[in-house]
Amino acid sequence: MSSAPLSNSTAHWRALDAAHHLHPFSDTKALNAEGVRVITRAEGAYVFDSEGNKILDGMSGLWCSQIGHGRKAIVEAIATQLSQLDYYNTFFKTTHPAAAELAAAIAGVAPEGMSRVFFTSGGSEAVDTVLRLVRHYWAAMGRPQKTIFISRKNAYHGSTMGGASLGGMAPMHAQGGLPIPDIIHVQQPYWWAEGGTMDRDEFGLFAANEVARAIDEAGPENVAAFIGEPIQGAGGVIIPPDSYWPAVEKICRERDVLLVCDEVICGFGRTGEWFGSQFMGVKPDLLTFAKGVTSGYFPLGGVIVGDKVAEGFIANGGEFNHGYTYSGHPGGCAAALANLKIMHEEKLVERVKFDIGPYLQERWLKLADHPLVGEARMVGLIGALELTPDRASRAAFAAEEGTVGLICRDFSFREGLVMRAVRDGMILAPPFTLTHAEADELVAIVWRVLDLTYAELQRRGLLVPVPRVGA
């Protein structure tokens, strides 16, 4: 069969999809009325839709595609693995070569003092594993009252009951009776929207002190852990002030509260270090990973457990009554091993730190000169633009929050670039293999998209600044 889609296939797939497919994070009624986009193929930094449009994948799928799309070495590694051992579990005193090799390979790039890995099928399951593992750890250490988790408002930790509860997304809590008990959400380190009159570092310390205050109010003897993304991804690529993470680490240590970094986005090179916690200069007790570990070629995630917790847990924990059928799936482990091999051979983490990262950052940060942009920020290959009608006051638009973001996102797709909108900001996280020419093309599209958005807002009378509540 030819890879070119049949001329009527978009309508055909849309009809099947509308009749049978319930989409995650979507309003099915609105989506079916509009018609879903059908992506049929991907190559390098580009995806192609069923209408033949070539679109630059500025989001690496969903923050997954570190090595770019369509890499045959990964496909072959998965095929070879599945033809030898398609599936076997890792429960009941059993392992398989790929799971053992991958656990060692991950320990090899993990931060110092973190050498054990628990496998899951994705990030949400990894976060749920942390909840259960940490609570069981404290119980095993004779401190069963230490159960409370501190998290942040507007954090994203996945969409299972545990993950969505630990996350701080109000619209997610509003559905299904969340959060589960014993989770406290505190101030996020989001200076641009919530920093008010404080300077960045002052605000970073303020936000860190809110962690201390929550722990002290609950009683440190009742608090199991603090969890945070080194950089909040789905929340809008919120890069905390430099003062924030070291202060949070110190606060946790002083109170005997474990520090958990959710590295599902930041892990495996996104910031130019192997892990975002290294970029922030902190040492977590546990960290979660998924997405980039396989570049999205196969679902796999997990938890890296630091030696202090692992030793206590192994010595005193007995049987851990937890696991997933696909914990350490052979296909996922083979994909991750091949992905790590490519990342090492092509020095892709170094490339993010010293080459394509700085190259794109330089051009991205200049977007702050556009009249619609309040702030442009980027570290490694993860960045955001805050859109505002008035940079000086960091004002909001005279429209429901998110309206402008969606206008901008639609222009972006039309012009051939995937950017995601969060509130009235745009976020970006391209593959590590992005070339300089592709980075130039990306930034040129963004300038055009900002101009189109600006003209549209002018036409609709939406450029009137509205003071931001809470700032």
Strand, coil or helix: 148: strand
Span interacting with ligand PLP, options 78-86, 151-159, 353-361, 404-412, rule CB under 6 A: 151-159
- Rounded to the nearest angstrom, the gap between the alpha carbon of residue 96 and the centroid of all alpha carbons in its chain is 29
Give yes or no for residue 158 binding ligand PLP (CB under 6 A).
yes
In the complex, least distance from residue 123 CB atom to ligand PLP, rounded to whole angstroms:
2
Q: What is the dihedral angle through the alpha carbons of 355, 228, 291, 269, rounded to the nearest 10 degrees?
A: 20
**Nearest approach, Cβ of 51 to ligand PLP (angstroms)?**
28
What CA–CA distance (Å, rounded) separates 173 from 346?
42
Question: Using CB under 6 A, which of the segments 152-160, 338-346, 452-460, 461-469 binds ligand PLP?
Answer: 152-160
Number of residues forming the site for ligand PLP (CB under 6 A): 15
By CB under 6 A, residue 122 contacts ligand PLP: yes
Our finding on whether 229 is near ligand PLP (CB under 6 A) is yes
Q: Which residue is nearest to ligand PLP (CB)?
A: 123
Instruction: Decide if residue 128 touches ligand PLP (CB under 6 A).
Output: no
**Which residue of 65, 66, 124, 361 would you call a contact of ligand PLP, by CB under 6 A?**
124
**Rounded Cα–Cα distance for residues 84 and 9 (Å):** 36
Report the site for ligand PLP in 368-407 (rule: CB under 6 A).
none
CA distance 324 to 74: 24
Q: Which stretch binds ligand PLP (CB under 6 A): 156-164, 201-209, 395-403, 461-469?
A: 156-164
Which of 234, 300, 379, 450 touches ligand PLP (CB under 6 A)? Answer: 234
The verdict on 267 binding ligand PLP (CB under 6 A) reads no
The reply on whether position 301 binds ligand PLP by CB under 6 A is yes
156 binds ligand PLP (CB under 6 A): yes
Q: Draw the binding track, 166-205, toward ligand PLP (x: CB under 6 A; -: no contact).
A: ----------------------------------------
Among 152, 157, 329, 420, binds ligand PLP (CB under 6 A): 157
Alpha carbon distance 290, 295 (integer Å) = 9
Cβ burial, residue 25 (10 Å; 0-12/13-18/19+): exposed
Q: How far is the CB of 243 from ligand PLP (least distance, A)?
A: 22
Q: Which is nearer to ligand PLP, 124 or 154 (CB)?
A: 124
DSSP string for residues in 70-138: --HHHHHHHHHHHHH-----S-TT---HHHHHHHHHHHHHSPTTEEEEEEESSHHHHHHHHHHHHHHHH
Residues in the chain: 471
Tally Cβ neighbours within 10 Å of residue 20.
7
Identify which of residues 276 and 374 has a Cβ nearer to ligand PLP in the complex. 276
In the complex with ligand PLP, which residue's Cβ is closer, 120 or 388?
120
If one asks whether residue 302 binds ligand PLP (CB under 6 A), the answer comes out as no
The tokens describing 420, both together, are 């995601």
Please report how close the Cβ of residue 241 comes to ligand PLP at its closest, in angstroms. Answer: 19
Q: Which one, 147 or 232, has the nearer CB to ligand PLP?
A: 232
**Residue 262 makes contact with ligand PLP by CB under 6 A:** yes
Q: Are 338 and 253 in contact (CB under 8 A)?
A: no
Task: Kindly compute the dihedral angle of the four CA atoms of residues 61, 66, 68, 69, in this order, to the nearest 10 degrees.
Answer: -50
> Exposed (0-12), middle (13-18) or buried (19+): which is 141, by Cβ within 10 Å?
middle
Does 290 contact ligand PLP by CB under 6 A? yes
Q: Which residue in 44, 123, 267, 383 binds ligand PLP (CB under 6 A)?
A: 123
| Burial environment of residue 165 by CB neighbours within 10 A (0 to 12, 13 to 18, 19 or more) | buried
CA–CA separation, 119 and 295 (whole Å): 16
Separation between Cα atoms, residue 323 and residue 53, nearest integer Å? 42
Which spans of this chain sit near ligand PLP (rule: CB under 6 A)?
122-124, 127, 156-158, 229, 233-234, 262, 264-265, 290, 301
